[in-house]
Amino acid sequence: MKFLQQSPFIRLFMFFLCGSVTQHRTDVSAGFVPLTVGAVLLAGVSFIPVIQRKWRWRGVFGMGLGLGLFACGGFVMQLSQQQSAWTEELTSTHLYEAIVIDDPVLKPKSRMCRVEIRSADDSIYQHVVGKKAVLYLALDSLSQTVVVGNRLFFYANLEAAPPYLREFAATGFVPAGQWLLKSAGALHTTPIRFMGLRVPESSSGQARLSRPAMTLPIMALNVRRALLEKLQEIVPNHAPYGLAAAMMFGDRSDVETGLKLAFANIGAAHILAISGTHFTILFGMLYYLLSFVGNSRRAKILKHGLMLPLIWGFAFMTGFSPSVFRAALMMSLWAIGDAFSFRSLTLNTVAIAAFFMLLYEPVYLFDVGFQLSFLAVISIVLINPHLVKLYQSRNPVLNYVWELCCVSISAQLGVLPLTVYYFHQFPVLFLATNLLLLPLSTIIIGLIPATLLMVALVGNFSLISLPLNGCLNGFVAITRTLDAYSYHNINGIFISVWEMFAWSAVIVLFLLIVIKKTAHLKNNS
């Protein structure tokens, strides 16, 4: 196909993807070494002058590269599977040391903490160190003080995590009195006593004590928590604060349950999650503010050189979640392409971003958010340019509204089969939702950092925060009004995987017919 010839990285990415999926479905680790050897031999043979001169042998290097990427995809998936494995021998009570890697979440009867195991009893140390677990701490005064970066020493009987917790190996409940809390920066040169057990720096048959490391994600979450505390002072009402925290910092723990449901009903759940939309809005604002630099090639390089650190700074503030990293990487690739006058957003760009995401964590492939996000971007790349051409106006406001509608329709058409398959519903009001809420969300995403900065400089935030609070209250009111409409959703749609692919084929065929007919009519006119 022509678009595959124009996007060579897609072909390479498909080999990597096939390797990951194959290893996930069945263990093919025994073939990694033969595949790698074969890949090296084929790539090496392709450089022999006699073979280089023959046209029919030009694909030898590509075959070798494809085999190598297939083996690479399978290998990283195998490493991920080993990292999330939890055998039966480990399901007994042991002493663990772990570090909290995400903000704890309050549950009805416990406090959920995502942790990384740093040490354990010598008998299981080699099997568990470095693995991630989900702990449920009994609710008490001590559990309320747990924050990201804290070290926990606990006795627990951890069990294998359920399939939906793909990144985590184990989960378990830790009763009150069975765990000890240490701050993130505490280094111990003397032994600790816990539950009557002496836990030294190194021992035989007891536990090893690791030194804590303040990793970049933990630092990011600490910065986010400080900014959220200041935001809560600026936005005192619970519903608007929860909305602002979710939109700007990716923290949805304070969003009211009813409001979350309302966003889901009207097809606007993506607004609550930090995604490409938020980075596009931020990028557009920065691009406008730096428009005085000019549009020459040097000016673009300078402009993007100033903007990219700010984009990644925003990603840092939100805690570097997978969706944030994905959006920041995609935006960076787009900016580099724009700066050097390449085609900025192409399927090649999407494939490169997906490759690096899956190379870092291959189980993202089976995450619904990952699938929806990349499918939406692919749909926008392929469909949006053709839809925009259907209508052009001299009025810039009408053009903006039309382009906004085209982006929304493109993304919604692309993710429609997957949305119906996973959530068994179709949001009828998605177009009205995007027309009403996206412009307002643009204003809010601009107002939040501006208000935080002005409060830090001035100190008096009673009048400064008035525009932000007004926009947030209006946003909540519009959401609830749309949700009150009786026919905002079509529910109870259940389809199989094959029906999902059939729907996708029908949508693609329909779009091809519309695009060709439109192009034919325009050429005749």
Confidence of residue 154 (pLDDT cuts 50, 70, 90): very high
CA distance 521 to 518: 5
What's the domain range around 399?
A: 380-428+495-525
**Would you say residue 53 has pLDDT above 80?**
no
- The pLDDT mean for the chain works out to 81
Instruction: Tell whether 209 is covered by a domain.
Output: yes
Most confident segment among 307-311, 378-382, 444-448, 468-472: 468-472
CA distance 456 to 115: 33
Question: For the chain, what is the domain count?
Answer: 3
Share of the chain above pLDDT 70, in %: 86
**Would you say residue 206 has pLDDT above 50?**
no
Beta-strand pair 170-174/159-160: antiparallel
Instruction: Tell whether 444 is covered by a domain.
Output: no
Instruction: Tell whether 36 is covered by a domain.
Output: yes
The reported pLDDT for the residue numbered 188 is 42
Domain boundary among 83, 115, 142: 83
The answer on 510 and 387 residing in a single domain is yes
Beta strands in 371-424 (DSSP E): none
The reported pLDDT for the residue numbered 343 is 58
Instruction: Tell whether 178 is covered by a domain.
Output: yes
Count the neighbouring beta carbons within 10 Å of the beta carbon of residue 173. 15
Q: Which candidate, 87, 90, 71, 67, places its Cα nearest to that of 79?
A: 71
Confidence of residue 386 (pLDDT cuts 50, 70, 90): confident
Confidence of residue 113 (pLDDT cuts 50, 70, 90): very high
CA distance 525 to 177: 80
Both structure tokens of 444: 């809010």
The answer on 155 and 131 residing in a single domain is yes
The reported pLDDT for the residue numbered 78 is 92
Q: Which candidate, 517, 447, 522, 436, places its Cα nearest to that of 481?
A: 436
Instruction: Tell whether 237 is covered by a domain.
Output: no
CA distance 349 to 450: 31
**Mean pLDDT, range 232-243, rounded to an integer:** 91
Find residue 95's DSSP bridge partners.
Answer: 155
**Would you say residue 174 has pLDDT above 90?**
yes
The region that residue 114 occupies, defined by phi over 0 for left and psi between -120 and 50 for alpha, beta otherwise, is beta
The answer on 96 and 78 residing in a single domain is no
Domain boundary among 34, 52, 83: 83
Count the neighbouring beta carbons within 10 Å of the beta carbon of residue 257. 7
The alpha carbon of residue 375 and the mean position of all alpha carbons in its chain are separated, in whole angstroms, by: 13
Cβ atoms 154, 117 nearer than 8 A: no
**Would you say residue 11 has pLDDT above 60?**
yes
Instruction: Tell whether 135 is covered by a domain.
Output: yes
CA distance 173 to 153: 14
Instruction: Tell whether 366 is covered by a domain.
Output: no
The answer on 132 and 189 residing in a single domain is yes
Cβ atoms 76, 26 nearer than 8 A: no
**Mean pLDDT, range 518-523, rounded to an integer:** 66
Domain boundary among 162, 184, 213: 213
- The larger pLDDT score, comparing residue 238 to residue 382, is at 238
The answer on 133 and 100 residing in a single domain is yes
Confidence of residue 189 (pLDDT cuts 50, 70, 90): very low
- The larger pLDDT score, comparing residue 280 to residue 245, is at 245
Residues 6 or more apart from 270 whose CB is under 8 A from it?
A: 277
**Mean pLDDT, range 363-376, rounded to an integer:** 84
- The larger pLDDT score, comparing residue 241 to residue 203, is at 241
Domain of 99: which CATH number?
Answer: 2.40.50
Find residue 170's DSSP bridge partners.
Answer: 133, 160
The answer on 114 and 7 residing in a single domain is no
Residues across the chain = 525
The answer on 520 and 384 residing in a single domain is yes
**Mean pLDDT, range 415-427, rounded to an integer:** 84
The reported pLDDT for the residue numbered 135 is 95
The answer on 205 and 147 residing in a single domain is yes
Confidence of residue 472 (pLDDT cuts 50, 70, 90): very high
- Summarised one tens digit per residue, pLDDT across range 326-355 is 778 878 887 887 777 665 557 788 888 889
Count the neighbouring beta carbons within 10 Å of the beta carbon of residue 341. 9
Instruction: Tell whether 275 is covered by a domain.
Output: no
Both structure tokens of 231: 């935001």
CA distance 223 to 126: 33
- The larger pLDDT score, comparing residue 252 to residue 128, is at 128
Find residue 335's DSSP bridge partners.
Answer: none
* DSSP-H helix ranges across 204-321: 216-234, 238-249, 257-265, 269-272, 276-289, 297-317
The answer on 111 and 41 residing in a single domain is no
**Would you say residue 7 has pLDDT above 70?**
no
CA distance 114 to 98: 9
162 DSSP assignment:
P
CA distance 264 to 270: 9
Find residue 137's DSSP bridge partners.
Answer: 111, 174
CA distance 479 to 260: 10
**Would you say residue 198 has pLDDT above 60?**
no
The answer on 111 and 18 residing in a single domain is no
- Summarised one tens digit per residue, pLDDT across range 296-327 is 888 888 888 888 888 888 887 776 767 777 77
The answer on 97 and 78 residing in a single domain is no
Residue-by-residue DSSP string for 352-370: HHHHHHHHH-GGGGG-HHH
The alpha carbon of residue 518 and the mean position of all alpha carbons in its chain are separated, in whole angstroms, by: 36
The answer on 164 and 70 residing in a single domain is no
CA distance 151 to 369: 30
- Which of 126-140, 165-179, 358-372, 502-516 is least confident? 502-516
Residue with tokens 């030294």: 200
- The larger pLDDT score, comparing residue 185 to residue 405, is at 405
Please report, to the nearest 10 degrees, the dihedral formed by the alpha carbons of residues 242, 244, 246, 248 taken in order. -160
**Would you say residue 185 has pLDDT above 60?**
no
**Would you say residue 173 has pLDDT above 70?**
yes
- The larger pLDDT score, comparing residue 233 to residue 400, is at 233
- The larger pLDDT score, comparing residue 17 to residue 374, is at 17
CA distance 10 to 15: 9
- Which of 2-6, 226-230, 428-432 is least confident? 2-6
The alpha carbon of residue 161 and the mean position of all alpha carbons in its chain are separated, in whole angstroms, by: 21
